[in-house]
A and B are shown apart, each in its own frame.
Chain A
């Protein structure tokens, strides 16, 4: 019964989405007529009730997983009564069907939220936006109900569930995917606003202000998702790499790049009524990229690390949705291009000018990542197989990334509309001097590649530059949004510093060691004290007991393991990480050589942790900016309410 309740709620929600689409579209089209007014009244409640139904449906699924109702196929195939409760619950979105339901639920909840509170835009635009939101939602409802029903029953119910893969019982694994989904959903909301604004020809600063929190929120989640994913790959893969330009990684990077560009261009539109067409374009592109990413990962058409059973049928469905949404939006945009009048003009030597360069560079990097990721797919159609990897992405991306950073250092100092170089000569000179000083210093002290060299120098320069917008301003009265910008830009510098430093100065030691041997790597001395077998609930492992000291300092212990799981049979490397303020020592143990010695792999990775600290700082900056923006909105709304109230009182 419970499962059926969830399914019925989902069907009702889908029906309401249909109603929302029709009523919203008709009301927005023939605004003013009596029928249209009547229909318009339906739209917001439909969105709100739809959200409630979806939430009910999703809670139902969580309940089914919590009680391990094995008569439900999804529970039987992916859960197990012996799992800890937290993983039972996380299991609800741990597979395709459940994750799609989560996606739809978050999307419906967002739709319900804007229907409930968003009153700043012209009502026609809101109706069109909600209709667009329902249109996107309907595709996902169809996907769920027709090809991925999470509530399907299994008759007879099995005695026990099949999903007790302990490898997947990882708290990071449980919460990493929803993080990315929240990002994708935020971008879908931005997309709906764009379509609504296009349909009603209302690409205005107000539209940008309304859309911005959603983009910011999406961007925060994407940032956290990518940062966490990178760290996870780093400690789980056992070879010290943190970014591989693998298609699946690129699929998560592309929406982030587009969202970053969109965030900045929306700021220009909100503040200065410029870059209207850019903002619309980026709104479409950002959502496209999240759909393309989902498609690439789920369909398995790219050679990724996919020994995994991907499903071409799901791929076809996502591709159909992709074509419908993106194709539709692009055609609409092309038809409406002349109505998106060019916004205000500005000098290149202005805040807008810098942001345009930022936008163009981010879009170019996005284009290159997309090209490099999809190119093997293109040549495969002609039976030629090629690989595109770091030697391509790093330098070609850097062509656009490094100049963009230079602009990032200067841009926030510029005034809107028009500024003169003379005014910001001093701070620019300081940053330039720092850049040159670091460059010369590193050149003199170390022999490293050109990209890490430029990266190091730029990161230090940008780190200093990122705080310059605060100079001469009262810190107490500085808006939160500015704090957010400063911290996010500083985070970029921090992450870049970590990347460049690890690339340039990482030290590697691969050795076959006897018990008692001492291995040196960087300033570390590592002594292998013992190698012992250990075992867990479903694995056995050999564990190295090591004592390590940095530069003759206090001894620390490390216990890397080489684990063998038996069901399913898999071997993994559990690395030991010793973190210091200036880097991390990465220790992995491999097999035993024939002469009885053990393969040890050690890396000293200077400042590698800065990569993820930087990512978190970027996200923190986003959070501050979001709080600042929302607080301002709320204050404005309260003030407007008071004024309206006073007027009403005066009138009466």
Chain B
């Protein structure tokens, strides 16, 4: 086995361990949350003592934290993520239904934000006009100052597609990081030397600036994916879109803790996976 494959396998193991740690951590929070295990059906006077015992057994009350972990992990291994208390449906099915919508929206928003931020960064770098620089900084400064939920409401009001909202929320931060990275690479002595020798701007960008800026830009891939995913929650919640973000919000409002634990696992896997991908790309030699 080559060292590259071994390293990738190690990272995959780490990813799995992180996801399980995240899930256990949220399971612990759920276990110790005020009101855990209280089922309103227990208050039903028509139920017999054995029915109440059955309810308590289903909720695994009175068992220690370790057996709680055991039950949770064994369910996880068998693909059983439990049942949503609020929607009264299997969590795995709910996630399966909604993950595709969120993934599509987040991906489109993320791509749009990257395209717009790259275009803006390259334009400001190419022309180096103070008017362009200040206009871009002012526009992104105003966008950064808007709460995510307000952008979501604006999208709703303007009937704009959801991915545009994600792009608008992600763009200002992405532009600032990208612009700083590219500007730093652009003032390197060898770039100045190339400019002095009359090398064309396009060649300078692709042969001198981008190779230097590549590692931090790749790291930005993962950071921006997390930003885009975070933006999806208020956008989906306020526009009533059938995605994982809306599901997380509904789970929080209804204190559907088993559902929230599984969504945490899903989000941890997704973001850690993007981090792994970005890390692997960074390690590859140009």
Interaction A to B: no
Chain A positions near chain B (C-beta within 8 angstroms)? none
